[in-house]
A and B are shown apart, each in its own frame.
Chain A
Amino acid sequence: NAGVTQTPKFRVLKTGQSMTLLCAQDMNHEYMYWYRQDPGMGLRLIHYSVGEGTTAKGEVPDGYNVSRLKKQNFLLGLESAAPSQTSVYFCASSYGTAQETQYFGPGTRLLVL
């Protein structure tokens, strides 16, 4: 099992450009999450999904959109990137009844110039 995978691993964007981050999991987890991590700060939840076709806002959703068309995939989109979105983005998944035990992907490092 690959667990949770993320693509790309690293990306540089110019302000105003758009991009999509892809997360895939092969553990048949119902719940999936997108977090961002900035220096000196913990993980902050951007959006999450409790099942195929559903999404919900987390703590810091502004400037991001998500979609979960298939159970195993969770996409994070930036429509118009801003320097404030420079961060490391982590995807995670969990069984619905065990949200405390989340499995994280390796992360995507995004730099917005």
Chain B
Amino acid sequence: GQSLEQPSEVTAVEGAIVQINCTYQTSGFYGLSWYQQHDGGAPTFLSYNALDGLEETGRFSSFLSRSDSYGYLLLQELQMKDSASYFCAVRNTGFQKLVFGTGTRLLVSP
């Protein structure tokens, strides 16, 4: 089986930098994905790390450390529109399908 842990809520102000952590326990592992979901909306794909290290896409970056079973999503230059829930997800070699964490709600204030 697998389990993922994320903080339930994170708050920050506009223009700041915030890091959302995700720790996972799984046997056999392809990589770590991140999804964003605004209230009432559908999840949308943000990033995928198959290898250790940092992947950067604009204001968002994602990091993976396989040896530590740990990853994070880094959001820079926060904007109000970044207020949303963020989910990490893993796919392991056993179940073969994505398993999502319970999500981190990010609140960005002016």
Contacts and interface: CB of A to CB of B under 8 A. Distances in A.
B53 to A, nearest CB: 16
Contact of A101 (B48, B101, B102): B48
Interface stretch (B13-21, B65-73, B75-83, B91-99): B91-99
B97 A100 contact: no
Contacts of B97: 33, 45, 48, 58, 99
Given A100-B30, A100-B48, A104-B44, A41 B102 contact: yes
Interface string A82-112: 0000000010100000011111111100000
Nearest to A48: B97
Contacts of A69: none
- Which residue, A40, A92, A104, has most C-beta atoms of chain B within 10 A? A104
A44 B101 CA distance: 9
B82 to A, nearest CB: 19
Given A42-B103, A100-B33, A106 B98 contact: no
B45 to A, nearest CB: 5
Interface residues of B, number: 22
Contact of B43 (A40, A48, A90, A100): A90
A42 B45 contact: no
Contacts of B96: 99
A113 interface: no
B41 A42 contact: no
Contacts of A48: 97
Interface in A48-72: 48, 58-59
Nearest first, the 5 closest Cβ-Cβ pairs linking A and B are A42-B100, A104-B42, A43-B100, A100-B33, A100-B48
